[in-house]
Structure 1
Amino acid sequence: MNLVPRMLAMCASMGFLALAACSPPAPQVGGAAPAAAAAPKPVASDAPYSLADFAKVRKFDAHVHANGADPMFLQQARADNFELLSINVDYPDFPGIELQHVAALQLAKDDPQRFHWAATFSMKGFGTPDWLARTNKRLDDEVAEGASAVKVWKNIGMVEKDAKGQLIKLDDPGLSPVADHIQSLGVPLIAHQAEPYNCWLPLDKMTTDNDREYFSKHPDYYMYLHPEMPSHEDLMAARDRFVAAHPQLKFVGAHMASLEYDVDVLAAFLDRYPNATVDLAARMSQVQYQSIRNREKVRDFFIRYQDRLMYGTDLTQAPDADPVVFKAEAHAYWSSDWRYLATGQSQRIEMLKADVPGLALPREVIDKIYYRNAVREFGLKDQSAAL
């Protein structure tokens, strides 16, 4: 699969959905039909969307990685009626930060109405006298160029170390002035902290097959085998202290704020921090795992927190991706999520070895999660009314 390096744990094995299933029915042609037969049935305002509505509804994927200037991602976004937020990230398996930046500028120039991007910064030199000034200057320049947010990755907390050899966590005092500067720029901070909770569990306690398979083959990244590393709870506590210390900063918890394993725990996080929203990127199977056991509980969570959730996937366009394969996989992934969130239809999720019923969320809730929340959070123009 070309979409996502496994360290980002996107883990999509949804299978393909027929293109026709997401297309509106063809209009009748030929002779006039009787009025009673031709008249469409009115759709109740509270009726959920269907698969046929997928391409007609303006949508926003608030977490993707377009790691090259090839237009394939934009082409599929146009076909499926998406806007994109491509997030630059200091991740060693991606092209360098500068190359990601150049690609983002080119794609934003190609289609400024559909392509948006988030800046990032390097931790190289953290703690040295000029690091802060250099970092804030970079953020000034990139926001001026059009960046809609700033991203920090899990290297903060799990990789980067200070001059004393201690891991740098998000609540390190040296990062506070950067957070204050991002706040002054008026853009959100997107924070990816920690791995999925499964990473700290024994294999037989993990909830999805993709995590079980991956961590069994990559023991270096399997935190259950590394008690010398911070626990999931330690990383979440550092993140929470950071959010509490910056209550006016717009904060986006990437990947459901790494609380994907329990919607009650995520609800408590959102209740504590009114400046926080979360994206759903690469964690849908964890939500589906819970909805198999208690669909109404999960559905109620989405309805209750409809203003705090943003749709996202973590779909990643590798620089050498095959355009045909990439577009098909992106469409299949987007279509599968729409089937689960927007409709009441069931689908087979192989990583759970289960048929998962759709949540059939109300249209107003879908419109917020799939579009309006991202437009609000990233300070963008709402283009849905123009369609």
Structure 2
Amino acid sequence: MKIHPKHILAKSLILSFCYLAFNCTQKSGNESDDNSEATDDKSAYYTDEDFGKISKINTHVHFKVYDTTFIAQAKRDHFKLITVNVNSGYSPPIGEQQGLAVKLLKAYPNDLAYATTISVKDFNEPGWAQKTISYLDDSFEKGAIAVKIWKNVGMELKDAKGKFVMIDDPKFDPVLDFIEKSNATFIGHIGEPKNAWLPVDKMTVAGDKNYFSEHPEYHMYLHPEYPTHEYIMAARDHMLEKHPKLKFVGAHLGSLEWDTDTLAKRLDLYPNMAVDMAERITHFEFQAVTNPKKVRDFFVKYQDRLVYATDETVNEKTPIDVYSKQAHENWLEHWKFFTSSEKMKVADVEKEFNGLRLPKTVVDKIYRTNAENWFSLEKFK
């Protein structure tokens, strides 16, 4: 039977229409391949507007003077704070710091918590451990929820023989046991960023370049006679092995800030370890320049072990109203990095990077519930 050319044309038109209709349907169904934000559930993500509405905890700030301006800014931004005492040469005596923390705690019982610290001044004297435990017992009675150890252990403190003292030294064991039995958290600023062992021009972020240029005493590249980064980290790991039930928060990403894979290995090995992000978020941003997916996947996988912190220090050097404004802008920048997928540029990182656009469930843990759990912050719940 001969088919009329008009019938062939009609059939071709029908087939073409069906093909186009099918492809349009397929494109609509797979649109997320080209633009995931167009079809994903936006209710699962926060926006910039949510920053001032969501309850958050900043687990690492320092008050060196009594002031309410910074706390007022934190309250406006829906932040509760943990002020951390520290046994450093830049800080007031630890008893004075504790007195200030207790005064702030009484004034703002629902907005503030505090971490005490310990002195290693008399570490080589008999009775140091018992004296330290007595001080901590008094601190806990006054409301301390955690204990901070500083980088002078491992990088400055020496024993009677002139050898550098590491955090796994047996003299620390009874003190750490007491912290554990008191259900307090041990915050460890152990070591420094790996950048400290590099020349300034090889460092990855501007903040480290500035800090170690201004503080050559901690620029380990200039002090090859000091312990290596690997040695200090190994001592910290040994301490965790000896005290597997001690709640430990590694300050400043546990000094493993340069590589999410290296940090992940420690978190896998030590389930009693979390890390705070104080002054190290730029290292995540630096890694996001080249591999944002890897950084995002790390946050999702270890969402229960990452605690928001910034390390602002309230002192007399900068007018508090100016400093509070700077802190607000810093907090907003962090929020954008965690919650959006936008291109970003910050002062500390040379190149642009994308935000991580983490789900609400992960953001809530980073900003609030992890802090509640790792620091037993029942009063903030």
Normalising by structure 2, report the TM-score: 0.87
Stretch of structure 1 that moved more, 313-322 or 230-239: 313-322
Q: Does the 8 A contact of 1:90 with 1:96 survive in 2?
A: yes
What is the CA–CA distance in structure 2 between the aligned matches of 1:181 and 1:313, rounded to whole Å?
28
User: Of the candidates 316, 338, 341, which is equivalent to residue 341 of structure 1?
Assistant: 338
Q: Which amino acid aligns with 2:260?
A: V
Identity, % of aligned positions? 44
- Secondary structure, aligned partner of 1:349: coil
Pick closer, same or farther for the CA change 1:113–1:217 going to 2, 3 Å. Answer: closer
Q: Does the 8 A contact of 1:340 with 1:346 survive in 2?
A: no
Q: Does the 8 A contact of 2:277 with 2:307 survive in 1?
A: yes
Q: Which amino acid aligns with 1:56?
A: K
Q: Does the 8 A contact of 1:372 with 1:382 survive in 2?
A: no
Residues 16-71 of structure 1 deviation map (CA, whole Å, 9 limit, x = unaligned): xxxxxxxxxxxxxxxxxxxxxxxxxxx94753211100010000101111112211
Aligned to 2:311: 314
Q: Is 1:192 aligned to residue 189 of structure 2?
A: yes
Q: Give the Å deviation of 1:127.
A: 3.1
Aligned to 2:168: 171
Residues 206-230 of structure 1 deviation map (CA, whole Å, 9 limit, x = unaligned): 1112323443454332111211000
Q: Does the 8 A contact of 2:85 with 2:117 survive in 1?
A: yes
User: Of the candidates 281, 284, 288, which is equivalent to residue 285 of structure 2?
Assistant: 288
Runs (5+) with no aligned partner, structure 2 = 1-39
Q: Give the Å deviation of 1:202.
A: 2.5
What is the CA–CA distance in structure 2 between the aligned matches of 1:102 and 1:218, rounded to whole Å?
28
Q: Which amino acid aligns with 1:61?
A: N
Q: Give the Å deviation of 1:130.
A: 2.1
Q: Is 1:225 aligned to residue 222 of structure 2?
A: yes
Q: Does the 8 A contact of 1:66 with 1:86 survive in 2?
A: yes
Q: Does the 8 A contact of 2:59 with 2:371 survive in 1?
A: yes
Counting only pairs closer than 5 Å after superposition, residues 55-74 of structure 1 correspond to structure 2 as 55-74=52-71
Q: Is 1:363 aligned to residue 348 of structure 2?
A: no
User: Of the candidates 187, 198, 201, which is equivalent to residue 201 of structure 1?
Assistant: 198
User: Of the candidates 211, 231, 239, which is equivalent to residue 236 of structure 2?
Assistant: 239
Counting only pairs closer than 5 Å after superposition, residues 13-24 of structure 1 correspond to structure 2 as none
Q: Does the 8 A contact of 2:372 with 2:380 survive in 1?
A: no
Q: Give the Å deviation of 1:203.
A: 2.8
Aligned to 1:148: 145
Aligned to 2:327: 330
Q: Does the 8 A contact of 1:58 with 1:371 survive in 2?
A: yes
Q: Give the Å deviation of 1:280.
A: 0.6
What is the CA–CA distance in structure 1 between the aligned matches of 2:57 and 2:138, rounded to whole Å?
25
Q: Is 1:49 aligned to residue 46 of structure 2?
A: yes
Q: Give the Å deviation of 1:165.
A: 1.4
Residues 62-117 of structure 1 deviation map (CA, whole Å, 9 limit, x = unaligned): 11111122112211110100011111000111122122111111111111111000
Counting only pairs closer than 5 Å after superposition, residues 90-105 of structure 1 correspond to structure 2 as 90-105=87-102
Q: Is 1:267 aligned to residue 264 of structure 2?
A: yes
Q: Which amino acid aligns with 1:278?
A: V
Q: Does the 8 A contact of 1:127 with 1:174 survive in 2?
A: no
- Count of aligned pairs between the two proteins: 342
What is the CA–CA distance in structure 1 between the aligned matches of 2:321 and 2:216, rounded to whole Å?
33
Counting only pairs closer than 5 Å after superposition, residues 19-38 of structure 1 correspond to structure 2 as none
Q: Give the Å deviation of 1:239.
A: 0.3
Larger radius of gyration: 2
Q: Does the 8 A contact of 2:87 with 2:150 survive in 1?
A: yes
Stretch of structure 1 that moved more, 69-78 or 212-221: 212-221
Residues 299-341 of structure 1 deviation map (CA, whole Å, 9 limit, x = unaligned): 0000000001100001110145412101101101111111101
Q: Does the 8 A contact of 2:70 with 2:321 survive in 1?
A: no
Pick closer, same or farther for the CA change 1:145–1:216 going to 2, 3 Å. Answer: closer
What is the CA–CA distance in structure 1 between the aligned matches of 2:180 and 2:65, rounded to whole Å?
29
Residues 171-227 of structure 1 deviation map (CA, whole Å, 9 limit, x = unaligned): 111111110111111111000011111010133321112323443454332111211
Runs (5+) with no aligned partner, structure 1 = 1-42
Q: Does the 8 A contact of 1:66 with 1:73 survive in 2?
A: no
What is the CA–CA distance in structure 2 between the aligned matches of 1:177 and 1:83, rounded to whole Å?
32
Q: Does the 8 A contact of 1:198 with 1:207 survive in 2?
A: yes
Residues 269-303 of structure 1 deviation map (CA, whole Å, 9 limit, x = unaligned): 00000011110110011111101110010000000
- Secondary structure, aligned partner of 1:150: strand
Q: Is 1:111 aligned to residue 108 of structure 2?
A: yes
Normalising by structure 1, report the TM-score: 0.85
Q: Is 1:136 aligned to residue 126 of structure 2?
A: no
Pick closer, same or farther for the CA change 1:149–1:217 going to 2, 3 Å. Answer: closer
Q: Which amino acid aligns with 2:199?
A: P
Q: Does the 8 A contact of 1:349 with 1:356 survive in 2?
A: no
Q: Does the 8 A contact of 1:54 with 1:338 survive in 2?
A: yes
RMSD, aligned CA: 1.5
- Secondary structure, aligned partner of 2:249: strand
User: Of the candidates 177, 181, 187, which is equivalent to residue 178 of structure 2?
Assistant: 181
